[in-house]
Every structure is written in C-alpha cells, then in structure tokens.
Amino acid sequence: MEEDIRQDMDEFQEYVIRKLQLKEQDADGYSPLVLAYMGDCVYELFIRTKVVNEGNMQVSKMHKKSARLVKASAQAQMVCAIMEMLTDAEKRVYKRGRNAKSVTMAKNASMMDYRMATGFEALIGYLYLSGQRERMVELICAGLEKMG
C-alpha cells in the first residue's frame, strides 16, 4: 500500500513537472525566505488535508483547527519537537530560515516564535523542493505526534 502511494506520488510529480514545463532547480539556490514561502504553503496544505480527512464539518471549524497548527507559535513548538531528529544539513537550512531578515512579522506572534516558524517553513520548503517529500512527511508526522 505504502509503495503504491509512493509510486502514485512520483507519477503525479512527474506529470506536474511536464504539464507546467518546470525547469530543474537546485533547492540550495533559493533564498531562505523563498524556501519559507514555499514551506508555508506545503505545510498548510498538509495540515488542511489532515483536518479535512477527520470528517465533514463546518468550514469555520476546519479553519480554526488548521489555524491552531499553522500559526507561528505552533510551528515554533513543532521545530523544537523535531530538532533532535534533524540532520546537520537540515539544521543549517532551518538556521538560515530562522536568521533571515524579513520585513514583516506575524500579528499574534513573538519575534522568537516568528523566526523559529520561518526556519521551520524554510526547512519544509527545502525538503519539498529538493524532492525529499518522504523525509518532510516523516518530520511533520513526528512533530504532530510529539505535540499531541
């Protein structure tokens, strides 16, 4: 079953690349804020997929459930929960994102949580763009489990 899903995802990814005529890119070449931009989207999609899969409910309730897991403080908690699992290379990507100078800040987050969340998003974006999707899912699932 898991192998079938992996094969389906690989085929889907190849299809998307072909249809959108995407150029091959090296994930190391992106700025940390670009990685965080992509990671924010990918992580939110992952969380929304999980929430929708829990069953039919009002969209406002789904939004509240999702928002609790995607807000900066939750992402900061997530990265703390998985830090010991990260490889040295993954820690470097996280730190690049965390230390990146952003012109904006989340309205309801401390500066520390916001920077940690940006580092987490950069890591997720890096793993996604470098094709390490299994590792990305492994880290997110481990973080969710540790956070309860």
CA-CA distance, 102 to 118, in Å (whole number)? 9
Query: Which single residue is written with the structure tokens 């969710």?
Result: 144
User: Catalytic one among 26, 40, 88, 113?
Assistant: 40
Query: Which residues have C-beta within 8 Å of that of residue 26, sequence separation ≥ 6?
Result: none
Q: C-alpha distances in angstroms, 142 versus 81, 114, 148?
A: 8, 21, 10
4 catalytic, yes or no? no
Catalytic residues: 40
